[in-house]
Structure 1
Amino acid sequence: MRTHQRGATLGRIDRYILSQLVFAFGFFSLILVGIYWVNQAVLMLTQYISEGQSGIFVFELMLLSLPSLMLLVLPISAFVATVYVTNKLYSDSELVVVQATGFSVFRLARPFATFSLLIVVLIIVLAHLLVPSTVRRLDSREAELAQALSARILVPGSFESPTSGVTVYVRDITPEGTIEDLLMSDIRDPDRQTTYMADQALLVRDAESTNLVMFQGMAQTLEPNGERLSITRFDDFTVAIDSLIQQSTSDRVNPQGLSTLQLLTPDAELAQRTRRSADYLQREAHLRVTQALLAGGAAFLGYAALMIGGFSRFGLWKQIAAAVFLVVIVKLIDNSSIDAASRDPALWPLVYLSSLLAVVICLALLFIANSNLPARLRRRSAG
């Protein structure tokens, strides 16, 4: 009976701590994601609304960018939540009371380990499922946007360069779509440089191409080698401007939009479509795995670092600073490992080094914290 009551008590304590962690994680995630998302939304609104895109289109892009943003922010939220809850439990003397009843540092780690596992699962879902699917959708929408030439090269009062060597300027665009005072310079061919000027112009689209029809203007063609300038005046003139849009990457596949299975088993065709080597693609797949492991490790490290200190009415600021320092060290090693693997993709096992280091640090901190417990508490927790 006594064992059953103790087990029920342990279960309630675990659920209580876990609920505190989940609530704090949700709160900090909402704040951090909201801040980053609003900043990104302002940039998108400034860029796309000024180019004439609809609010619905911009809102869709904002939603599609959210999973990638969450993938960056949620590991930070998890670490902050763990540090906050551990510090709060210590400040309220709850952890002190629980330890006095015989809970070891390792036993108290159960709800924190469960929380870290939940973070790992969440990051796995984001990195392997949501982010690739939204990246594919974003690429599709950006490809559609590239076809909206009026948004790319016809911005009133602004010199636009949709591709290297081409500059377009228009004074104004009427509500009916008539372009007023057009200037277009094409110097992609160094042996033949052409400048078009027209009082008015229209964009005419059909199923196969987009044409710029100019009225009442002239074309100046300069041949530097022959030092010859030709001027042609016209009442109307048509130019196919599909080539003005940068097409060099239109058929290129973004590796971030590929599934993890595709990255792990790349063939020659996929390597050609992504312009990346097979080793590079496999490294990207392993990076998705390490993102989840590192996020869980950082969350658990927040608990382990704070447990090395005892109760203090001044708080655990030294331990909090140590936790932040250790996370920074782990992240620096992670960045160095990724850089090394980037230079030589065959060194992809290095990307797991930071996750392994985080596990070693957490275990070492737990052993130190448990050894710092008073001998009476260690004997009671062992019994």
Structure 2
Amino acid sequence: MQRFDRYVLSQLMVVFGFFALVLVSVYWVNRAVVLFDRLISDGHSALVVLEFTALSLPAVIALVLPLATFASAVYITNRMSGDSELTVVKATGYSPWRLARPYLVFGLLIAAMMLFLTNYPVPQSLQKLRDREQELTGSITAALLREGTFLHPSRGITFYIRDITPSGELRDVLLSDRRNPTREVTYTAGQAYLIRDTDGPKMVMLDGLAQTMELMRNRLSTTTFTDFTYDLSGLIATGEARNRKTDAIPTLELLLTPELVSAENNDSLGEIAERAHMRLQGPLLCIVAALIGYGALMVGGFSRFGVTRQIVFAIFLLILVKVVEGAVTPLVIANAALWPLIYTPTLVGAVFSAVLLWWAARPFRPRRGIAAGATA
């Protein structure tokens, strides 16, 4: 690679790092705010929020890489054009096709990075995230220990605690069990404790009252007790293994054994094919984004008004590529045999890039009015 190519590539990588950092921060902070509000309100600690946001980071990075690639190509091309660097280089005989080489190498590098992310860290982090969500779903502390709130940990159950002391004692507890269609039982106690033994979590209530309502006979009976143990294992989901989601399954497994994956999670073969090939198609968009960002700004000559129109045109072309992606995705989901259509956006973007470079490389021909005036 020649010195000019290394110079352009180094500039692209530096600016790409900046744009990627900014975009990842914006997406990540937005994700962290949602997780913070949900997890903290469920009684989890800030460390759990930090763990969840960290596990969501690979997917966020993979999401913003094409945008950062496009923004970097546009910014560097605009800056080099404004500083007349491109004018000097073109005067030495470099064509727009030749100048596109560092942008192509840049797109390939980012595509390789995104290919690794989408096929390894992203599925693994999503699986780990779902495993942790499943563990927290079965957490007694998060599900039940919330003061002054009527909770419904499962269908037909209402649970309330007025106060929790620093020693873990529950004060003024109410537990309503309406799971039996013929009978409702309401337990109230002045004190209670949560314990865990080999049979699962239990709650020991002291000095309480059990009120049983026989719905068929419309009869209420009450029983006072000194201590009573209530089994909580049926109220809170334990960590039973769940079927894996398609986006958390390794790519090779999706490509080689789609029937087994479909039998595991009930997704159609089209959905599995779309997920698998999108992990390969997404990185290719980085190459397309870099070339479109460069090619669009190379079209047209110098203007005192800058390159705003070219930038808007480049964004429009990138939107068209995404529109094509949105159009072919339902077709592949409906019929897995149409999986080659997933790569149509890359082909369309490559055509756009080639047309832009051809247009930029064509010989300059002044307009007739200008030419006639110069001849006169």
Per the normalisation by structure 2, the TM-score is: 0.88
Partner residue in 2 for 1:176: 167
> Which of these residues, 1, 15, 24, is aligned with residue 33 of structure 1?
24
Q: Percent identity?
A: 42
Matches of 2:212 and 2:335 in 1, distance apart? 48
Alpha-carbon offset, residue 322 of structure 1: 0.7
Query: Which runs of structure 2 are paired with 1:183-332 in the superposition (5 Å)?
Result: 183-246=174-237, 250-266=241-257, 269-332=260-323
Matches of 2:359 and 2:214 in 1, distance apart? 79
Partner residue in 2 for 1:18: 9
- CA contact 1:266–1:281 (8 Å) conserved in 2: no
Task: Note closer, same or farther for the CA distance 1:182–1:343 as it changes in structure 2 (3 Å cut).
Answer: farther
Q: After superposition, what is the alpha-carbon deviation per residue over 1:11-69, rounded to whole angstroms, capped at 9, x for unaligned?
A: 11111111111011000111111122223223333433454434433322222111011
Alpha-carbon offset, residue 345 of structure 1: 4.4
- 3-state SS of paired residue (1:127): helix
Matches of 2:258 and 2:223 in 1, distance apart? 52
Where do 5+ consecutive residues of structure 1 fail to align? 1-9, 376-383
Q: After superposition, what is the alpha-carbon deviation per residue over 1:256-282, rounded to whole angstroms, capped at 9, x for unaligned?
A: 221111111236554333232344323
Partner residue in 2 for 1:363: 354
- 3-state SS of paired residue (1:211): strand
Alpha-carbon offset, residue 360 of structure 1: 1.5
Task: Note closer, same or farther for the CA distance 1:261–1:200 as it changes in structure 2 (3 Å cut).
Answer: same
**Is 2:317 the counterpart of 1:338?**
no
Matches of 1:226 and 1:268 in 2, distance apart? 53
- CA contact 2:12–2:106 (8 Å) conserved in 1: yes
Task: Note closer, same or farther for the CA distance 1:298–1:92 as it changes in structure 2 (3 Å cut).
Answer: same
Matches of 1:171 and 1:345 in 2, distance apart? 55
- CA contact 1:221–1:229 (8 Å) conserved in 2: yes
- 3-state SS of paired residue (1:204): strand
- 3-state SS of paired residue (1:126): helix
Task: Note closer, same or farther for the CA distance 1:143–1:197 as it changes in structure 2 (3 Å cut).
Answer: same
Alpha-carbon offset, residue 179 of structure 1: 1.7
Matches of 1:248 and 1:358 in 2, distance apart? 46
Aligned amino acid, residue 249 of structure 2:
L
Runs of 4 or more above 6 Å deviation: none
Alpha-carbon offset, residue 339 of structure 1: 3.2
Q: After superposition, what is the alpha-carbon deviation per residue over 1:193-235, rounded to whole angstroms, capped at 9, x for unaligned?
A: 4433322222111244111222233334445455444444333
Aligned amino acid, residue 118 of structure 2:
A
- CA contact 1:186–1:193 (8 Å) conserved in 2: yes
RMSD: 2.5
- CA contact 2:270–2:333 (8 Å) conserved in 1: no
Matches of 1:233 and 1:101 in 2, distance apart? 97
Alpha-carbon offset, residue 249 of structure 1: 7.9
Alpha-carbon offset, residue 161 of structure 1: 2.8
Matches of 1:92 and 1:277 in 2, distance apart? 54
Matches of 1:100 and 1:297 in 2, distance apart? 27
Matches of 2:240 and 2:294 in 1, distance apart? 46
Task: Note closer, same or farther for the CA distance 1:218–1:350 as it changes in structure 2 (3 Å cut).
Answer: farther
Matches of 2:262 and 2:66 in 1, distance apart? 31
Task: Note closer, same or farther for the CA distance 1:309–1:321 as it changes in structure 2 (3 Å cut).
Answer: same
Per the normalisation by structure 1, the TM-score is: 0.87
- CA contact 2:273–2:333 (8 Å) conserved in 1: no
- CA contact 2:202–2:233 (8 Å) conserved in 1: yes
Aligned amino acid, residue 260 of structure 1:
T
Q: Which moved more, 1:193-202 or 1:104-113?
A: 193-202
**Is 2:127 the counterpart of 1:127?**
no
**Is 2:103 the counterpart of 1:109?**
no
